[in-house]
C-alpha cells in the first residue's frame, strides 16, 4: 500500500510508508495518531509531528533520561514533564534507587494511546513507583519547591501550548522545584534546523540555573537525525561524570562511553555556545 505519512518542517520532509492507521482522534489538546509503518514500526504522531517510534525511540529516551540519572549522586524523586508515551518512565524505572516517578502529562489520551498501541514503550507505566498526574507541566512546576532530584522535560516541539516549556519562567520554576544537587534534562531540538533555539535554550538555562551543558544523540525519525539535549543543574559546577557507583544498565544506546562522548560537540555548535558563555560571564 503506497500510503505515506509526511512530517514536514519548513522546506524539509521526512516520510514513512504506512501499513495501517491504528488510531486517530482529536483530544482536547491535539490530534493524536498512531500509525504502523514499514520502517519505524508503530509511530505516535501528534499534530502531524512524529513524536516517537518503536524502532528508534531508545536513541531518544535513553539519552534524555540516563544522562541526568547517571550523574545525579542519589536520584530518589523524579518528575517527567510531557512524555505521555511512557518511554521516559520506562528508562527512569530501570534505576532501582529511584523511589517515586511523577509523570506530569496534560493529555490523558496520549497515555491511553500509548498503553493501547505502544506496549514496548509504555510498559513501565504500571510500575508501582509511577504516579500519573493529568496536569499542565508549567502550572505544576510553578508551585513546587525543592520537590525533585531530577526533572525530565520530554516536550514536543515548541509550538502552541508547548511554547511555555521553552521559556525562562518555566526553567526558573524547574530550578526552584529541584532539591539541592538537582538536575534537569530537556530535549531542545535540532542543532542543524533549530540552531538558534538550541543556543537560546542554553542561554536560558545558563541564566535560570547555576550551570548547564548541551549534549546530543542521533534520533533517525527526527528531522536531520542529530538532536540536542540540555542538562542543567541547581548547583555549580555541573559535573558531567558518571557517579562512582553507577551500575550497568540494560540499554540499547546509552553506555558510559556514549555518555561521555555525547558532550563532545561539533565545532559549529561548540562555538555558538561559547558565545553564550562569554555573554553570561560578562565578557561577551
Residues acting as catalytic residues: 154
Q: Which is nearer to a copy of itself, 16 or 188 (CB)?
A: 16
Q: By CB under 8 A, tell whether 41 contacts a copy of itself.
A: no
Q: By CB under 8 A, tell whether 21 contacts a copy of itself.
A: no
Q: Are 32 and 113 in contact (CB under 8 A)?
A: yes
Q: Are 17 and 2 in contact (CB under 8 A)?
A: yes
Q: How far apart are CA 252 and CA 200, in angstroms?
A: 31
Q: By CB under 8 A, tell whether 196 contacts a copy of itself.
A: no
Secondary-structure breakdown of the chain: helix, strand, coil percentages, each rounded to the nearest 5:
30, 30, 35
Helices (H), the chain: 57-71, 87-92, 108-117, 119-122, 137-142, 168-177, 195-208, 256-261, 267-280
Q: By CB under 8 A, tell whether 120 contacts a copy of itself.
A: no
3-class DSSP assignment, residue 221: coil
Q: Are 77 and 106 in contact (CB under 8 A)?
A: no
Q: By CB under 8 A, tell whether 4 contacts a copy of itself.
A: yes
Q: By CB under 8 A, tell whether 220 contacts a copy of itself.
A: yes
Q: Which is nearer to a copy of itself, 39 or 139 (CB)?
A: 39
Binding map of a copy of itself across residues 154-193, x = CB under 8 A, - = no contact: ------------------------------------x-xx
From 133, 142, 238, 265, residue interacting with a copy of itself (rule: CB under 8 A): 265
Q: What part of residues 48-77 is at the interface with a copy of itself (CB under 8 A)?
A: 55-56, 58-59
Nearest distance, CB of residue 254 and a copy of itself, angstroms: 7
Nearest distance, CB of residue 122 and a copy of itself, angstroms: 21
Residue 188 C-beta-side C-alpha neighbours within 13 Å: 28
Closest alpha carbon to 158 in 193, 134, 108: 193
Question: What does the binding site for a copy of itself look like in residue numbers (CB under 8 A)?
Answer: 4, 6, 9-17, 37-40, 55-56, 58-59, 190, 192-193, 216, 218-226, 251-255, 257-258, 260-262, 264-268, 270
Amino acid at each position: 500500500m503506497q500510503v505515506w505519512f509526511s512530517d514536514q518542517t519548513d522546506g524539509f520532509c521526512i516520510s514513512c510508508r504506512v501499513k495501517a492507521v491504528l488510531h486517530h482522534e482529536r483530544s482536547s489538546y491535539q490530534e493524536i495518531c498512531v500509525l504502523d509503518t514499514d520502517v519505524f514500526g508503530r509511530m505516535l504522531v501528534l499534530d502531524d509531528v512524529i513524536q516517537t517510534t518503536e524502532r528508534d525511540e531508545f536513541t531518544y529516551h535513553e539519552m534524555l533520561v540516563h544522562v541526568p540519572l547517571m550523574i545525579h549522586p542519589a536520584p530518589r524523586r523524579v518528575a517527567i514533564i510531557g512524555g505521555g508515551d511512557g518511554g521516559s518512565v520506562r528508562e527512569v524505572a530501570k534505576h532501582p534507587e529511584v523511589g517515586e516517578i511523577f509523570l506530569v502529562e496534560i493529555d490523558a489520551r496520549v497515555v491511553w494511546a500509548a498503553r493501547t498501541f505502544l506496549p514496548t514503550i509504555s510498559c513501565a507505566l504500571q510500575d508501582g513507583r509511577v504516579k500519573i498526574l493529568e496536569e499542565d507541566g508549567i502550572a505544576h512546576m510553578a508551585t513546587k519547591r525543592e520537590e525533585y532530584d531530577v526533572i525530565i522535560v520530554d516536550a514536543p516541539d515548541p509550538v502552541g501550548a508547548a511554547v511555555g516549556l521553552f521559556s525562562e519562567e518555566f526553567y526558573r520554576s524547574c530550578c526552584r522545584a529541584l532539591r539541592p544537587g538537582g538536575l534537569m534534562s530537556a530535549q531542545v531540538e535540532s542543532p542543524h534546523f533549530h540552531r538558534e533555539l538550541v543556543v537560546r535554550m542554553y542561554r536560558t538555562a545558563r541564566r535560570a540555573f547555576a550551570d548547564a551543558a548541551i549534549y546530543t544523540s542521533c534520533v533517525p525519525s527526527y528531522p536531520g537525525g542529530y538532536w540536542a539535549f540540555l542538562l542543567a543543574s541547581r548547583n555549580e559546577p555541573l559535573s558531567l561524570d558518571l557517579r562512582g557507583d553507577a551500575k550497568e544498565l540494560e540499554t540499547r544506546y546509552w553506555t558510559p562511553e556514549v555518555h561521555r562522548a555525547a558532550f563532545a560537540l561539533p565545532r559549529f555548535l561548540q562555538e555558538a555556545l561559547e558565545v553564550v558563555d562569554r555573554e553570561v560571564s560578562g565578557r561577551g
